[in-house]
Amino acid sequence: MKFGRWIGWLCCWLLSAGIAFAQIQISEVVQNVGRISKEETPVIHEFIVKNQGVTPLNIQKVIPDCSCSTASFTQTPIAPGKSGSIKVVFAPYKLGPFQKIFTVHITDPQPRTFTLKLEGYIAPSPATPEASFPYISGVLRFRHKNLNFGSITGQAVVSKRFEMYNAGNDTIVFTNRIETPTHIRVYFDSSLVIPPGKIGSIVVTYDPKLKKSAGFFQENVALFTKNAAQPRVEVNMIANIVPSAGEMLFSEESKSAPAGMPRTGSGTINPDLGPRMQLSETVQTLGDIYLNVGLVTEFVIYNEGGKPLEVLDIKPFPGCEIISEKQFSLAPQEFAVIQVRFIHNGTLGKQIRRFVIKSNDEQQPEQMLEMQVNVIAGTK
């Protein structure tokens, strides 16, 4: 029979010369939870600890082997013949097999330690619309928070296809009314109608010649529907327009910083100015999410300085995961998108997840960013 399964109570006899001590029984020292889908996480298990001795048993602390795990335990002394518990929570950050070790410190009355193990296998979640289209706008869901055109030259007209999923119970019917800047055009790829549970798409073209500006831009287009519940749908675009090699298509005064980012100069690239890290925002309030629904969001980082900005590391705190590159370089006026995944810890209510960007910006070498969410019960 596999070691660690329930085989009655495993007795741990703790010997101590000349001192009365507790004899403890543990439900299991190794718990294998088997194969678990990513959508079923976090992994939660409770170990039962019974005091079989004649003196009180105190659990002083439980130390997980990594920041992806937490533990809570009975805080009061466990009297002889009584039981307490150690509840462990593991928030997986990658697929595949796992083994998490928890070091338990007790006194009975002498200090002692032993270890508990939680192991299993995290399998990929089934392909669901919620996983494929994680960004929510009313009854519509999108693959990405922004339609990212990346860096484009001043002469190239760029087209992107943008998909949306109807998660509601009613058919979404778009009208021909579309509000866009003059340099952006939107076309429906096939139909103005998206039935429930179906995917529709638009094609967006971006003409930097008509924009007549260089730099980073965040802009919105508005689509309109015949549905009273969601008459207006906004789609956010981001693009970094750079002149073609050897050409200056726009005046230096027309260069733009990312929308919402404070400017510190006139718009010209000063080669004597060091790297300057600017961010689209440092706090995102993301509203309500269901306990079983994953969430990925994006932050935009921009180099407003005159020398390359080196992002040395992006360090997440427990409860979030960086799924984009953690180390990269940005030339002056270049931008990148940082993607962050919120990891559930099994609890409801308002929660905050934070991460730190470390760079070679001498004025601001470290920048703390955070996500604010409210986890609610139920399923979606």
Q: Give Cα separations from 241 to 123, 148, 169, 284, 371 (angstroms).
A: 41, 12, 40, 26, 29
Neighbours of 266 (CB within 10 A): 9
Q: Cα separation of 6 and 33, whole Å? A: 12
User: What is the C-alpha to C-alpha distance for residues 137 and 236, in angstroms, rounded to an integer?
Assistant: 12
Which residue type occupies 167?
A: A
Residue 12 CA from chain centroid, whole number: 41
Residue with tokens 């943008």: 162
Q: In this predicted model, what pLDDT tens digit does every residue of 119-166 receive, in sequence order? A: 999 887 666 777 778 778 888 988 877 788 776 766 667 888 888 999
∠ Cα 320 350 325 (to 5°) = 15
pLDDT of residue 84: 93
- Per residue in 229-239, pLDDT (tens digit) is 889 998 888 88
Structure-token pair, residue 71: 């533990």
Residue-wise pLDDT for 47-70, tens only, equals 999 998 888 999 999 999 887 889
pLDDT value of position 312? 94
CA distances from 164 to 242, 341, 380 (A): 29, 20, 17
User: Is residue 181 a contact partner of residue 300, using CB atoms and an 8 Å limit?
Assistant: no
Kindly report the number of other CB atoms within 10 A of residue 51's CB atom: 23
What local confidence, expressed as pLDDT, does residue 272 receive? 62
Q: Enumerate residue ranges in the chain where pLDDT < 50.
A: 1-21, 245-268
Pairing of strands 199-206, 158-166: antiparallel
For residues 361 and 274, the answer to whether their CB atoms sit within 8 Å is: yes
